[in-house]
């Protein structure tokens, strides 16, 4: 079966510290991968998506970056966190078992203090 | 105009009621339509997936797509307290880029 893993589940970081969130996908190969941020009452904001290793598209200018070092690994990073980076970060995958839809990981809750 | 509009609620119903959740959209080219259920502090879980128009039923859940009106619905029959969650609609043209509603918060009261 197909599974998306994200870690950590919760993270509390001081302003100005670096960030690394990891997402891995099991059960498929060459999926499209996505990073979303979800804020209360504001839905899902697409941050980055990737169609393959080393290929990253950014949807909004921001303090964050993404990388895809392996086919089923997607990393969200920041060199210096801002208070506004707090939120719920979701990794998603498209292409699992050929279904034309997205599946989501469990999410990482980030609090920047 | 937003690509996808969804009433945020909150919606509160008694146990056993029929729930109707709706989304409208502006892009007539959308072909794939999805409903996700999201419990608090969890990732969205795919509930229903429909390609093009028509109805799809899965247990107590029915998804409807009306492309002529650019309107999709999710019906929940015999609602249960465990259905209390936020419901997100989503749409896609090609399956590569997805557009989400902001979610409707549902509470089913025992």
The segment with the largest mean pLDDT, out of A44-58, B77-91, B92-106, is B77-91
Specify the pLDDT at position A30. 85
Chain A residue numbers with beta carbons less than 8 Å from the beta carbon of B88 are 43-44
- Model confidence pLDDT, tens digit, residues B8-60: 789 999 999 999 999 999 999 998 899 999 999 899 999 998 888 889 999 99
Cβ of B36 within 8 Å of Cβ of A41? The answer is no
Residue A103 has pLDDT above 80, yes or no: yes
Compute the distance between CA of residue A51 and CA of residue A33 in angstroms, rounded to an integer. 7
Contact B96 A106 (CB under 8 A): no
Nearest to B101 by CA among B71, B63, B78: B71
Q: What is the mean pLDDT of chain A?
A: 90
pLDDT of res. B7 = 85
Contact B103 A43 (CB under 8 A): yes
pLDDT surpassing 90 at residue B76: yes
Q: Please name the member of A41, A101, A106 whose beta carbon is closest to the beta carbon of B43.
A: A106
């Amino acid at each position: 079966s197909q599974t998306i893993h994200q870690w950590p589940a919760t993270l509390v970081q001081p302003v100005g510290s670096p960030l690394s969130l990891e997402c891995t996908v099991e059960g498929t190969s060459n999926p499209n991968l996505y990073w979303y941020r979800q804020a209360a009452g504001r839905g899902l904001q697409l941050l980055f998506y990737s169609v393959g290793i080393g290929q990253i598209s950014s949807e909004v200018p921001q303090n964050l970056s993404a990388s895809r070092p392996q086919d089923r690994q997607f990393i969200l990073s920041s060199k210096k966190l801002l208070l506004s980076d707090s939120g719920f970060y979701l990794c998603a995958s498209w292409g699992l078992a050929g279904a034309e839809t997205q599946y989501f990981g469990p999410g990482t809750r980030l609090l920047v203090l | 105009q937003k690509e996808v509009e969804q009433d945020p609620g909150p919606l509160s119903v008694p146990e056993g009621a029929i729930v109707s959740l709706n989304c409208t959209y502006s892009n007539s080219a959308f072909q794939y339509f999805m409903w996700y259920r999201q419990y608090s502090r969890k990732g969205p879980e795919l509930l229903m997936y429909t390609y093009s128009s028509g109805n799809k039923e899965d247990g107590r859940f029915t998804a409807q797509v009306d492309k002529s009106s650019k309107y999709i619905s999710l019906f929940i029959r015999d609602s249960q307290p465990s259905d209390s969650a936020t419901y997100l609609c989503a749409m896609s043209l090609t399956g590569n880029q997805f557009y989400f509603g902001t979610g409707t918060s549902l509470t089913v009261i025992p």
